[in-house]
Chains A and B, each alone.
Chain A
Amino acid sequence: MAAPEKTCGKCGTVNPRGADYCYLCQAPFGAGTPGPGVQAFAGETGGSGNAAPVFKAAPMLLFPDAQRHNVRMSALLFALLVGVFFLLGTVIGGAYGDVGNGIALSAVLCVILGGAAYFNGSSIVLSLHDAAKADPERHRQLLNVVEEMRIAAGVPMPKVYVMPSAGMNAFAAGRRPEEASVAVTQGLLDGLNREELQGVIAHELAHVKSRDTLYNVCAAVLVGSIALLADMFLRGTFFAHRGRSFGGRRGGGRANAAYIVLGILLALLAPLAAKILQMSISRQREYHADAAAAGFTRNPLGLASALSKIAAGGAQVPGENRGTQHLFIVNPLKEFGPGASALMSTHPPTELRIQRLKAMAGFGGV
């Protein structure tokens, strides 16, 4: 750390070094500095590239807006997901001659799968990666950093786990902030300094605070259920073509051909559409958690530097699978080049995330 952090004389908020206005009350620090310009993602620095970061954005002030926007976005996408689910149920029911049964089947499935995931979502992920509780002696710094960040975020102290993997990654789980867990890999602890670790933990606690962890579980369940329903339908239909007729059920051969065609089409497309929706929710939430982390630490550069270290060092975590990839701070399955902004990725390209964080600290497009 080269320059001191700045504490605002008016309100006492500790601002990042190089800030020229207080984040919280926007009082200028030096005489003669122009009034605050709150710009979400400042484009230019105005000055040489190596100049000290000038804090242009005020993430803490933008944070509630970002939160509202993200929550609204997610609710919308979530509603769409449910809509697709029931549309599928209706068509499947129609194909078998009974719309009501189809809807009932999809509702029952949704409740069963949802219940199962709701009651043991986080413990499954934790045990999947051999996560062990952080040791108060050996992981003193980690525990301290988690507590610092949970104070900054204003959430209860989560349970802290360490995964033995050498890859660099972290995730948060738990339905409510009161019962949240945060897990980091040993590789992350070895590779990051205190400031960078703060950024990563702040990102995870942002997920906890905004209940992304709950949304993640629900979205995963819905996507899983849609895939299952579609699968069942396709098999049933194909069986029928091999000679077992629909007429065997409920006594009447009233399976509607139009419904069957529509059903096959939907069964093929719905899982894909659901997946795309889920991924786009996930990508939105990553940006939001990054911005919130900058607000908690008052230091966007810590997380930015952590992300570039993770991208360079490898985020792979053994035992990882497609079902839980969206939980991690950087996707553990994919390499993220600039072209990774595909529809099906759970995370925005790390490059872009770093760029946005640097913009928050007043650096231009890098």
Chain B
Amino acid sequence: MAYIPLALIVIVVAWFVAAYNKLVRMRNQVKNAWHQIDVQLKRRYDLIPNLVEVVKDYMSFEQETLTKVIEARGAAIAAKGTAAQAKAENVLTESLKSLFAVVENYPDLKANQNVAALQEELTGTENKISFARQFFNDSVMAYNNTIQAIPSNLVASLFNFTTETYFEAPESDRAVPKADLR
């Protein structure tokens, strides 16, 4: 009989440790997911100069489209703050879409192996960015749920785990049709 309170204490402590560890794991996953988005964005910055280099000889008529892509890339790299960066990234996405739309009109260019490879790379990167955002938001949702739900909210408030904010996409992103790059 004397063991019952002891057993209860052990169970409660074990639960506390487990809940704390789970929260730490989830917080790290949110951080890691955020980092994933960054990795893919940087990858896109690196790919764009190659694409511009390959495409520019063919596209003397379409200087404007190319300039827009280069400017958008510069603006996205320079953007400070999450909201400004999200906006700049979307401008970049749109400018790439219009560039690919133009590429469709040049059969020589479309047949070029390098262009096809770069186009696949950029499509892939574009998708990776959006799946990374999706995973980030999923992770945030799971983390926030755990922080707010009973009884794990006890542990969360005790050790200062705070809710994370979702990745916000600007309004403009919803209105623009996505070009079919596949």
Chain B residues proximal to chain A, CB less than 8 Å: 29, 33, 36, 40, 117, 120-121, 123-124, 127-128, 130-135, 137-139, 141, 166-169, 171, 173-174, 176-178, 180, 182
Contact = CB atoms under 8 A, between A and B. Distances in A.
Contacts of B135: 151-154
13 contacts: A7-B169, A9-B169, A12-B166, A12-B167, A24-B141, A141-B124, A144-B121, A144-B124, A144-B127, A151-B36, A153-B135, A154-B29, A193-B182
Nearest to A153: B135
Given A1-B180, A147-B128, A151-B36, A25 B166 contact: yes
Contacts of A10: 166
B36 A147 contact: no
The 9 closest A-B pairs by CB, nearest first: A144-B124, A12-B169, A152-B131, A11-B166, A12-B167, A4-B177, A194-B182, A148-B127, A151-B131
A195 to B, nearest CB: 7
Contacts of B180: 1
A203 interface: no
Contacts of B138: 24, 60, 154
B131 A195 contact: no
A46 B132 CA distance: 34
Interface in A11-44: 11-14, 24-25, 29
A235 interface: no
Contacts of B36: 151
A14 B176 CA distance: 13
A14 to B, nearest CB: 5
A7 B131 CA distance: 12
Interface of A: 1, 3-14, 24-25, 29, 60, 140-141, 144-145, 147-149, 151-154, 193-195, 296, 298
Chain B: interface secondary structure? helix
Contacts of A141: 120, 124
Nearest to A22: B137
A144 B120 contact: yes
Nearest to B176: A4
Given A12-B166, A154-B33, A194-B182, A7 B124 contact: no
A149 B131 CA distance: 8
A151 B128 contact: yes
B180 to A, nearest CB: 5
A4 B179 CA distance: 8
A313 B113 CA distance: 29
A7 B174 CA distance: 5
Given A144-B120, A144-B121, A144-B124, A9 B171 contact: yes
A12 B133 CA distance: 8
Nearest to A144: B124
A184 B138 CA distance: 28
Nearest to A198: B127
Contact of A154 (B139, B167, B171, B173): B139
A148 B132 CA distance: 8
B120 A140 contact: yes
Nearest to B133: A12
A1 B133 CA distance: 21
Nearest to B173: A7
Nearest to A147: B128
Contacts of B169: 7-9, 12
B124 A145 contact: yes
A11 B166 CA distance: 5
A152 to B, nearest CB: 4
A255 B181 CA distance: 74
A24 B139 CA distance: 11
